[in-house]
Amino acid sequence: MPPADTGAPATTGAAPRTAAAPRTAAAATDTPAGTAVGTAPSARRINLALFVLGLATFALLYATQALLPALSADFGVTPARAAWTVSGATLALAVSVLPLSILSERFGRRRVMTVSVLVAVAVGLLLPLTPNMDTLIVLRVLQGAAIAGVPASAMAYLAEESRPRALVGAVGLFVAGNSIGGMSGRVLTGWAADLWGWRTALLTVALMALACALLYRLLLPAPRNFSPAPLRPRVLLATVRGHLATPLLRRLYVLGMVFMSVFGAVYTVVGYRLIDDFGLSQTLVGAVFVIYLVGTVSSAGAGRIVARLGRRGALHLAIGTTLLGLLLTLNASLGAVVAGLVLVTAGFFAGHATASGSVSGTATSGRAQASALYQVACYVGSSAGSTLAALAYHLVGWGGAVALCSAALCVAAGVTLLGSRAAVRETTSVRETATG
């Protein structure tokens, strides 16, 4: 889920550019011999390449989410146990983003992205062969760690290789690939599982991702503006400490974690609810993820909401919308549940877009690391939310999962209120200083 899978403004884990030696043939580690460095690469090729890359990686990342009921039935495990096939992957991604961003500074964005997606596809091709749940979880953890190389490098590649006027559109297409990939992977697995079983469903997603990965590699031009930088983890750690010491950034990270925990929780266990309480097929459960398209609209409109209500007003509106949707899913009517999921999705994407967009605007330096930390917080939240909600559903039922998510949203509301109070204190202090 996701920013990558979320439809929210994209972030990057790339480390800050350091002083680097002038570009030379020896230094051009990612540029093939004979490439004219001065020739601008095709913007269309770059955009399409990263669109299909986002589609491949996020279809792989959430491939098992729509299959959790089938996995529980086949392996005889609880929802909480099956949920680790999702939360293990997202947690591994969160842990791996920063280290891989450092490697992309040294070895090149394109190289890191290529290795990452090919390793993730290779693991995906092994998933249908897994004999037990433990093996499946381990492979999913490895897959999540591999996928982390894409968000760690993609935005840095676009910033370096795209013309400034074309950058916003390029980022938007990459985000669209993330969102559509996350949605299509879930829909495809639900449909294929109904026809041939979950193993064939995972194989289908892996083959689709392989085709996208090969197309990406054929399309993506060699970088013209990348200069390798020395590995400087101390500089990175100092930047990270500085961001974590900033109160507003800390609040934004908590908000991202909470929003993503709620979203991950709902979509991890809703398949069980739809099958257990309404008797839906795997195909129909997978089709529910088409609701993600609502999030694409609400995230795109987040900027207008912020312009009208301010950042904190937009966050309160997003929290309230998400909470209303959660409560609506408690209804025994399938139509009410679907309507509730629409509200949850719209509220999440609007809130996530507002919080993630505020991170780059708040950080005065090291914006890449600030955004990377937001990604880490989000995927940690997604992992925790998925695991805890699956446990709550196993012990209490859907009401338990809703109660857990509602409590998390109360935390988000409290954090936003703290931000409002801090803003009032700061404004008062400035006025007192100005008046002497």
Burial of 380 (C-beta count, 10 Å sphere; 0-12/13-18/19+): buried
pLDDT of residue 405: 96
At 130, the pLDDT band (50, 70, 90 cuts) reads very high
Structure tokens at 224: 């013209």
**Angle of CA points 301, 173, 224, to nearest 5°:** 135
pLDDT digits (tens, 9 = 90+) for 232-257: 778 778 888 888 888 889 999 999 99
Of 77 and 181, more confident: 77
Tell me the C-alpha to C-alpha distance, in Å, between residue 71 and each of 60, 79, 368.
Answer: 16, 9, 37
In the predicted structure, residue 360 carries a pLDDT above the cut 90: no
pLDDT of residue 48: 85
Q: Among 5, 4, 434, 397, which residue's Cα sits nearest to residue 182?
A: 5
Section 81-96 average pLDDT: 92
Of 2-6, 83-87, 225-229, the poorest mean pLDDT is in 2-6
Distance of alpha carbon 12 from alpha carbon 112, whole angstroms: 14
pLDDT of residue 4: 41
Q: Which residues have CB under 8 Å from 26's CB, separation 6+?
A: none
Q: Among 148, 140, 137, 135, which residue's Cα sits nearest to residue 123?
A: 140
Most confident among 217-221, 265-269, 324-328, 370-374 (mean pLDDT) = 324-328
Of 222 and 57, more confident: 57
At 220, the pLDDT band (50, 70, 90 cuts) reads confident
pLDDT of residue 283: 86
In the predicted structure, residue 317 carries a pLDDT above the cut 90: yes
3-state SS track over 381-425: HHHHHHHHHHHHHHHCCHHHHHHHHHHHHHHHHHHHHHHHHHHHH
pLDDT digits (tens, 9 = 90+) for 94-129: 999 888 877 887 788 888 899 999 999 999 999 999
> With left for phi above 0 and alpha for psi between -120 and 50, is residue 2 left, alpha or beta?
left
Structure tokens at 77: 């495990």
The percent of the chain in helix, strand and coil, each rounded to the nearest 5, is 80, 0, 20
Q: Which residues of 397-433 are buried (b: 16+ CB within 10 A; e: fewer)?
A: ebebbbebbeebbeebbebbeebeeeeeeeeeeeeee
In the predicted structure, residue 133 carries a pLDDT above the cut 50: yes
Q: How far apart are the first and last CA of the chain?
A: 50
Q: Among 381, 298, 287, 410, which residue's Cα sits nearest to residue 2?
A: 381
Distance of alpha carbon 182 from alpha carbon 186, whole angstroms: 7
Distance of alpha carbon 143 from alpha carbon 184, whole angstroms: 18
pLDDT of residue 292: 81
- Please state the length of the chain: 436
Cβ(337)–Cβ(329) below 8 Å: yes
Task: Provide the CB-side half-sphere exposure for 336 (13 A, CA).
Answer: 9
pLDDT digits (tens, 9 = 90+) for 283-311: 888 888 888 888 777 776 777 888 888 88
Distance of alpha carbon 144 from alpha carbon 163, whole angstroms: 31
Distance of alpha carbon 59 from alpha carbon 62, whole angstroms: 6
Mean residue pLDDT of the chain comes to 81
Rg (CA), the chain: 21
Percentage of the chain exceeding pLDDT 90: 44
**Which ranges of 224-333 would DSSP assign to H, the alpha helix?**
233-244, 247-278, 282-287, 292-300, 302-328
Structure tokens at 96: 């791996």
